[in-house]
Structure 1
């Protein structure tokens, strides 16, 4: 039973993270006003710690960097489907396992969302992002927390068998 349930849970968590990451890409890569507000707020806050140059770079280019990492994470999490298809067409190919790719993708997802959760809690951005007099009800923060937790779970459940005893 456990052998069958782990891949199902793993795919559900991977697809949830990919849904959030991929649906946010148009905002991150198009200088959407909400994205500009978020990264400008964090960039301004970072200027107090890292100086004007680094804070300004984050404000201007942070969305592209985060979006690119989220795209790479999504490709990593979805790659087992492609590897399965390739393995069916060429059975002799040595391809990475679903477990390995979901473990790596889980670590990547939890890293990027750990950063998002940190900035929501530590910077002036806050849990509820307020922009032009409207708030998001905390939806960005709660999505980040859900992917942070999902990524940690993906990492843990896709360990090598018997790794829990180590």
Structure 2
């Protein structure tokens, strides 16, 4: 039972999170009224402390920037269904976690609120669902995540190549070094 759950849960997660992200793109990329309300409220909130324009259509956190991040996350999650490209799912889950952390935070800690479009909080519930599922996915695939982050760290900071090793690689190196020749 647990083996089947372990096998199919990542597939279900990728399909559901990918579908949620892809469905939201039709609102973000077409400048739908619902999107205008959400990003308009966020931009007005940002303007109240001198950061107006942060969430407008050309802002750093515009609907197009967030939508593009969701598109990348969903693409990586779905391409990761191919066994040879499974690591991409972990990268997609990392991006999904980042995007949904922002979404959940803005719903909870700004005037946006849980129900900005009078949908009964459905948008918020989906954000929380994808956010929690992404965190759980990353916990279960933490070795892959650490390997990816280590690789990025080596690319960015080449002098620090040996600073952080994934747990599985460190164990393999230790067993090779202690085995008799």
For normalisation by structure 2, the TM-score amounts to 0.72
Higher helix share: 1
Equivalent position of 1:31 in the other structure: 31
Match of 2:113 in 1: 126
Query: Which aligned pairs between 1:87-166 and structure 2 lie closer than 5 A?
Result: 95-96=84-85, 98=86, 100-130=87-117, 135-160=118-143
Conservation of the 8 A alpha-carbon contact between 1:106 and 1:153: no
Q: TM-score, normalised by structure 1?
A: 0.78
Spell out, residue by residue over 1:129-158, the C-alpha distance to the aligned partner (whole angstroms, 9 max, x if none).
14xxxx110001111000100110111112
CA contact (8 A) 2:37 2:116 kept: no
Structure 1 gaps, min length 5: 85-94
Cα–Cα, structure 1 residues 116 and 106, in superposed 2: closer, same or farther, change >3 Å? same
Structure 2 CA distance for aligned equivalents of residues 152 and 50 of structure 1? 33
Shift of 1:6: 2.0
RMSD: 2.4
Partners of 1:163 and 1:24 in 2: how far apart? 37
Distance 1:101 1:154 in 2: 13
State the distance in 1 between where 2:5 and 2:63 align.
36
From the CA coordinates, give the structure whose radius of gyration is larger: 2
Structure 2 residue 69 is the aligned partner of structure 1 residue 72:
no
User: What stretches of structure 1 move > 6 A for 4+ residues in a row?
Assistant: none
Structure 2 segments unaligned to the other structure (5+ residues): 145-165, 172-181
User: How many residue pairs end up in the alignment?
Assistant: 145
| Aligned match of 1:89 | none
- Say which SS state the counterpart of residue 49 (structure 2) adopts: helix
